[in-house]
Structure 1
Amino acid sequence: MTEVLTREEYRAAVSKPKRGNKFGARRTVFDGITFDSKREAEVYRDLKLLERAGRISGFERQRKFELIVNGEIIGSAKIDFAFIDHDQDGRFRCVDVKGVVTREFKRTQKIIKAAYNIDVEVWK
């Protein structure tokens, strides 16, 4: 005797299981915001505390930068956090939280440095 499956049951049976993040990061929700990793959520929490204490200002999440080469926009990159650090004489800082620094990210860092003269810091 053959078994009859509904369309949903068949699709569930033959679908591939979802792969996790290739670097092992797990999405985390903090303050109603979904972060790509637990570490990114921790950095966000710490920076929000510094902002409340008045040590940083102009705090932004997911700051977008246009990647410009020879006057032409070739793409864009989102950097996790940007802020003005009052502990370092009002310096503008951009921070990206990474577990693994890839070759692609290093290239993005160089383009942002060339186009905007901003060093993107990597916090692990």
Structure 2
Amino acid sequence: MYRSKYHSKKVTIDGETFDSIKEYRRWCELKLLEKAGKIICLDRQVKFILVPAQYETFPRYSEKTGKRLKDGKRCVEKEVAYYADFVYQDAETGRRTVEDTKGMRTEKYIIKRKLMLYLHNIKIQEV
């Protein structure tokens, strides 16, 4: 079993890996709510792009003939993404909820939370 620097234990159950036991327990609660018809469209680890990858083009030439080829493209900065623990909709209102099971609020997480609100107008519900 893997232990992070914040002492959470990864847990794998039925082929699904969760970052912590707390996250697994919340998943079980949400599955029950879905089964009872209270929520719909329950999903895990939903990716939200916060900053897209940055690319640059560069000239390319044939090694044999020296002729100019189509420009190449290389990544100079990887994308920044936030992975929501859970995303679901209220069955009655249709309101979408983005949820994160938190133990420790790191600086990195706080910045991503703020970017989610600013860029996507999504306020993350912390459990």
Q: In which range does the TM-score fall when normalised by the shorter chain?
A: 0.7 to 0.9
CA apart distance, 1:23: 0.7
Aligned-partner Cα distance in 2 for 1:67–1:110:
10
- 2:81 is the counterpart of 1:76: yes
Give the secondary structure class of the aligned counterpart of 1:83.
strand
Aligned-partner Cα distance in 1 for 2:36–2:102:
26
CA apart distance, 1:30: 2.5
Q: What is the root-mean-square deviation of aligned Cα atoms in Å?
A: 1.9
Kindly indicate whether the alpha-carbon contact (under 8 Å) linking 1:28 and 1:37 is maintained by their aligned counterparts in 2: yes
TM-score calculated relative to the size of structure 2: 0.72
- Corresponding residue of 2:116: 112
TM-score calculated relative to the size of structure 1: 0.74
- Corresponding residue of 1:6: none
Q: Name the structure with the higher helix share.
A: 1
- List aligned pairs for 1:17-96, cutoff 5 A: 20-68=3-51, 74-86=79-91, 89-96=93-100
Q: Which runs of 4+ in 1 moved over 3 A?
A: none
Unaligned 5+ runs, structure 2 = 53-77
Q: What amino acid is aligned across from residue 80 of structure 1 in structure 2?
A: D
Kindly indicate whether the alpha-carbon contact (under 8 Å) linking 2:87 and 2:97 is maintained by their aligned counterparts in 1: yes
Aligned-partner Cα distance in 2 for 1:25–1:58:
27
Unaligned 5+ runs, structure 1 = 1-18
- 2:85 is the counterpart of 1:102: no
Q: Percent identity?
A: 33
Give the secondary structure class of the aligned counterpart of 2:114.
helix
Q: What amino acid is aligned across from residue 37 of structure 2 in structure 1?
A: G
CA apart distance, 1:68: 3.9
Give the secondary structure class of the aligned counterpart of 1:25.
coil
Give deviations 1:48-98, integer Å, cap 9, x for gaps: 1111111000111000000049xxx951111100000236x2211000111
Aligned-partner Cα distance in 2 for 1:27–1:110:
26
Aligned length: 101
- List aligned pairs for 1:5-16, cutoff 5 A: none
